[in-house]
């Protein structure tokens, strides 16, 4: 019996023990398949568009017809370079395509073209927060490969079919070290990676359509023990399922061990209906795939000049942008993080500030009113929000200069959101929401209120703060919400002596 050293073992030594679950430490590593957003496939000119009639986007190359040869799509390589630059990885000057041999009906060639010994992206890391704790997960690699087709099981006619539209869609498989120590950390990692690939525009991130699929490798061990045997949960295509599946898997493994059973290495599927993971097959070893370099494709060479060109087109990354927001706008880290959750959010925020809004108020509105409404309406995103960033900016300016109260501003916002009017000032005018800043008019209202609320006056003089607030409320009501609250306060105080 030969002892095969686990290559991850060494890397794990000297790392702090993670939080324990029933006395066990949880170890998680991720393999993520990101579909690259090229118009055509990785080795053919067929379209990659989602949702076409089955087999209408499968070219002779994708069908593996004899005599066809793969030709590398430069756009896929460029996207791999972008990921490497974003994650601080090494971009291999020369990498090699290999054949991964296995039989499955959705794989007409009988092998998948992938990268094995020399992947295009090597090392790097993803940094993110779990709550307010900073974490870094190291990457092993990211390699280019082709997607397989899809088996469609048509239960209602009792038949299965093969759709090869997806065959040959470019994928980047992004593999981490087993660095994660809890479900929360794993989900936070996946969210951060998702944010990065969509941010740099290499993947549309649509999890429902399978553009971003995560496999979670999970094991448990007693603290200080060698790594336990892992099981790999395949194809987690929503963050919610990811959390449920990993939580279930951890509990299941601990239960097995507590009952005296060993964990067998396996590939498992998560069933959202039962909330359980189920073994699909025992895990193949690399040897089963009989990897060898693909003779149909030359090694992939990437010149330093190409990397420099790509670097010049890279957008500012979310973390750098969040740090800049804290510096430039004096925002708390929490706000800066939320505003950089997507390029669209950042664009919206910056446009509102450019329209004159105070950065903190713009941030509050985006987190508050806007987030609430976007959550309620699935078809809307901040990109196509009915209130534009410019409108929000102008509205915030009108709060700042005392034209409208916060309450009135919300009414203006409602009106804009439902499409009543488009110019902030015109809506304020039309709805009669201008704040009463005219001291004379206010004094008149206050005198009326004081004349009719002797009880509150007496209580206030007897030292009851609440009575003062009641008076402010009366004045606001009498002004139909249009009085400037700060001014009301000041005038009331002076009148009550």
Question: Which residues lie near Mg ion (CB under 5 A)?
Answer: 31
Q: What share of the chain is helix, strand, coil (3-state, %, to 5)?
A: 40, 20, 35
Of 370, 36, 27, 20, nearest to 172 (Cα)? 36
Nearest approach, Cβ of residue 99 and Mg ion (Å):
17
Q: Which is nearer to ligand ADP, 273 or 285 (CB)?
A: 285
Residue 192 touches which of Mg ion, ligand ADP, none (CB < 5 to 8 A by kind)? Answer: none
**Under the criterion CB under 6 A, does residue 263 sit at the interface with ligand ADP?**
no
Per rule CB under 6 A, is residue 177 in the interface with ligand ADP? yes
| Stretch of 93-101, 227-235, 306-314, 376-384 contacting ligand ADP, by CB under 6 A | 227-235
**Between 8 and 252, CB nearer to ligand ADP:** 8
Which span (22-30, 86-94, 315-323, 430-438) binds ligand ADP, by CB under 6 A?
22-30
Whole-number Å distance between alpha carbons of 232 and 29: 9
User: What angle in degrees, to the nearest 10, is found between the helix axes of 406-417 and 389-400?
Assistant: 160
State the binding string over 120-159 for ligand ADP (x if CB under 6 A, else -): ----------------------------------------
Phi, psi of 326 (to 5 degrees): -65, -45
Tell me the closest approach of the beta carbon of residue 71 to Mg ion, in angstroms.
Answer: 28
Closest CA to 412 of 480, 487, 350, 421: 421
Assess contact for 161 and 150: CB atoms under 8 A: no
Stretch in the footprint of ligand ADP (CB under 6 A) among 172-180, 233-241, 288-296, 439-447:
172-180
Q: What is the total residue count of the chain?
A: 497
178 binds ligand ADP (CB under 6 A): yes
59 lies in the site for ligand ADP, by CB under 6 A: no
Our CA dihedral for 390, 204, 81, 91, rounded to 10 degrees, sits at 120
Q: Which position among 115, 219, 391, 484 is part of the footprint of ligand ADP (CB under 6 A)?
A: 219
Q: Please report where in the chains the tokens 């076409």 appear, as a residue.
A: 52
Tell the residue number behind the tokens 């009501």, with chain if given. 477
Among 73, 217, 403, 435, binds ligand ADP (CB under 6 A): 217
Please return the burial class of 411, using the count of CB atoms within 10 Å of its CB with bins 0-12, 13-18 and 19+. Answer: middle
- Cβ–Cβ contacts within 10 Å for residue 390, how many? 17
Of residues 114, 176, 244, 479, which one binds ligand ADP by CB under 6 A?
176
DSSP, collapsed to helix, strand or coil, labels residue 218 as: strand
- Residue with Cβ nearer Mg ion (31 or 337): 31
Enumerate the H helices of 219-298 as residue ranges: 239-258
8/417 with CB nearer ligand ADP: 8
Does 369 help bind ligand ADP (rule: CB under 6 A)?
no
Nearer to Mg ion, 138 or 360 (CB): 138
Helices (H), 45-101: 60-63, 74-86
Binding of residue 257 to ligand ADP (CB under 6 A): no
Minimum gap (Å) between residue 230 Cβ and ligand ADP: 4
Instruction: Please give the Cα distance from 479 to 452 (Å, whole number).
Output: 15
Is 266 a binding residue for ligand ADP by CB under 6 A? The answer is no
Applying CB under 6 A, the residues found at the interface with ligand ADP are 8, 27-31, 175-178, 217-219, 227-228, 230
């Amino acid at each position: 019996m030969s002892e095969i050293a686990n290559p991850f073992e060494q890397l794990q030594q000297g790392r702090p023990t993670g939080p324990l679950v029933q006395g066990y430490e949880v170890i998680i590593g991720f393999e993520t398949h990101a579909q690259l957003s090229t118009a055509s496939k990785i080795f053919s000119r067929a379209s990659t568009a989602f949702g076409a009639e089955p087999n209408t986007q499968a070219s002779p190359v994708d069908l593996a017809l004899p005599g066809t040869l793969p030709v590398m799509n430069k756009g896929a390589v460029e996207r791999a370079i972008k990921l490497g630059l974003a994650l601080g990885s090494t971009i291999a000057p020369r990498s090699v395509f290999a054949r991964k041999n296995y039989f499955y009906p959705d794989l007409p060639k009988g092998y998948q073209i992938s990268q094995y010994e020399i992947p295009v992206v090597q090392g790097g890391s993803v940094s993110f927060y779990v709550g307010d704790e900073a974490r870094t997960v190291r990457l092993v690699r990211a390699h280019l490969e082709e997607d397989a087709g899809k088996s469609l099981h048509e239960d209602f006619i009792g038949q299965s079919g093969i759709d090869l539209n997806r065959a040959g869609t470019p994928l980047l498989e992004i593999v981490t070290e087993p660095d994660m120590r809890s479900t929360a950390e794993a989900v936070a990692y996946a969210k951060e990676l998702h944010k990065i690939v969509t941010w740099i525009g290499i993947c549309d991130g649509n999890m429902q359509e399978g553009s971003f699929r995560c496999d979670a490798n999970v094991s448990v061990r007693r603290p200080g023990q060698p790594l336990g045997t892992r099981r790999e949960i395949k194809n987690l295509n929503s963050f919610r399922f990811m959390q449920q599946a990993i939580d279930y898997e951890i509990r299941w493994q601990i239960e097995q061990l507590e009952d005296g059973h060993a964990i067998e290495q396996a590939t498992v599927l998560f069933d959202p209906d039962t909330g359980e993971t189920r073994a699909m097959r025992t895990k193949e070893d690399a040897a089963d795939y009989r990897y060898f370099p693909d003779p149909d494709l030359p090694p992939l060479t990437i010149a330093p000049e190409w990397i420099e060109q790509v670097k010049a087109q890279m957008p500012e990354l979310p973390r750098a942008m969040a740090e800049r927001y804290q510096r430039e706008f004096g925002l708390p880290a929490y706000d800066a993080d939320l505003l950089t959750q997507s390029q669209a959010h950042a664009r919206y925020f910056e446009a509102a500030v450019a329209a004159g809004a105070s950065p903190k108020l713009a941030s509050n509105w985006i987190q508050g009113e806007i987030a609430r409404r976007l959550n309620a309406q699935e078809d809307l995103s901040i990109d196509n929000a009915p209130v534009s960033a410019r409108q929000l900016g102008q509205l915030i300016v009108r709060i700042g200069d005392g034209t409208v109260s916060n309450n009135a501003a919300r009414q203006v916002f409602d009106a804009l959101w439902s499409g009543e009017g488009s110019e902030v000032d015109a809506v304020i005018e039309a709805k009669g929401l201008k704040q009463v800043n005219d001291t004379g008019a206010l004094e008149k209202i206050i005198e009326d209120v004081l004349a009719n609320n002797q009880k509150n006056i007496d209580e206030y003089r007897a030292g009851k703060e609440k009575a003062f607030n009641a008076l402010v409320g009366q004045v606001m009501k009498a002004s139909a919400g249009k009085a400037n609250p700060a001014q009301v306060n000041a005038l009331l105080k002076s009148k009550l002596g």
